[in-house]
Amino acid sequence: MNATLTPNAQWTVNSTSINGVVQAARALGAPVDDLLEEAGLRLKQLAEPEARHSVAALYNFYQAAASQTTEDIGLHAGRIQYINRLNLQLYTTQVCATFRDYLNLMPSVLRFAGDLGEVKIRRNGQAICLDWIPLWQPHAGWRYQSDEMLSVSAQIVNSLCVKPILPLEAHFTYPEPADSTLIQRLLGPNLKFDQPVSCLHFERESLDYPLIQLDADWGRSIGQTTQHLFTPDSREQILQDLRGTLIRLLPAGGVTLDKTAKAQGISRRTLQRRLAECGTQFAQVLQNLRNELAIQYLGDERLSITDIAFLLGYSEHSSFSSAFKQQ
């Protein structure tokens, strides 16, 4: 990875998000200890599942491990993360009745993994789509995280219900690789590359499929370790979710309070009330985020001023320049 292409230095992930990649790299024969050191990580630091680490360190390790093993490493890591996060899926089978209930309840990736991105659900004709939206937009075409997220999502969806739920299609933002054999084995034959968003398509009727139900004793024990992830949003989580939504909306331009509230599935008044409880306002969060991202993007030699203006939601670079100078 080019050293200038790094995400926000304040973004972090928990150890579990990195350990899945570490386990995949080790199984594929990579010199894990050396690669961790190059990425600024230590195995001892990864021993605590909820310890936080730089997102940039995860990306750097992924890149180094792929160079030593295979471009398919994200698919292998997804299989591992499916098991690592299995307690979340088992918990939902105790509190949900259908696949629709699960999609409505499941906490954001930002909450249980870290500052990576979000899985968004949308309808597309007779299908439902699970879109992978990276938090760091210049990273949207990067392969490994997309493969991991789509791989783990497909396995989760197919394991939840009494009836199997297999992807109708899988879309990827990156170009078609020379060998897509493993992708087809995991996600089916209907693959499309160079797409606007990485996503999985499923039959709409699967929303009403009943979930598998665990025995009561299993449900109680699993709930003790996962319930905190499903509790109401804290102040920090509200602002983190808002920032993630804004980063996704900014490149489209015309970001407003109403558009943002709609993207989060809440009303304008609800968003205003939550921000007031956090001691801030929408315009303040938006401007602070733009300033923060502007400094980050300006350090990227591969982005022109016009590119940066677009990423920040300005219609032309002169508007961005004026706003940045004013700040």
Q: What domains can you pick out in the chain, each with its CATH number?
A: 71-228 (no CATH), 232-326 (1.10.10.60)
What is the three-class DSSP state of 232?
Answer: coil
Task: State the CB neighbour count (10 A cutoff) for residue 179.
Answer: 11
Distance CA 216, CA 46 (A): 32
What are 138's two structure tokens? 């210049």
The contacts of residue 284 (CB under 8 Å, 6+ apart) are: none
pLDDT at 282: 93
Tell me phi and psi for residue 63, to 5 degrees. Answer: -60, -45
The contacts of residue 168 (CB under 8 Å, 6+ apart) are: 127, 188, 190, 201, 202, 203
> What are residue 133's DSSP bridge partners?
118
Confidence of residue 209 (pLDDT cuts 50, 70, 90): very high
The contacts of residue 232 (CB under 8 Å, 6+ apart) are: none
pLDDT at 248: 79
Confidence of residue 244 (pLDDT cuts 50, 70, 90): confident
Distance CA 200, CA 108 (A): 17
pLDDT at 289: 86
If you average pLDDT over every residue of the chain, what do you get? 84
Integer-rounded Cα Rg, in Å, for the chain is 20
Q: What pLDDT digit, counting tens, does each position of 263-285 carry? A: 888 889 889 988 888 889 999 99
The pTM of this model reads 0.69
Is the backbone of residue 29 left (phi > 0), alpha (psi -120 to 50) or beta? left
Residue 149 one-letter amino acid: M
Distance CA 172, CA 180 (A): 12
Q: What pLDDT digit, counting tens, does each position of 42-70 carry? A: 888 898 887 899 998 999 999 999 999 99
Confidence of residue 224 (pLDDT cuts 50, 70, 90): low
What are 149's two structure tokens? 């997220």
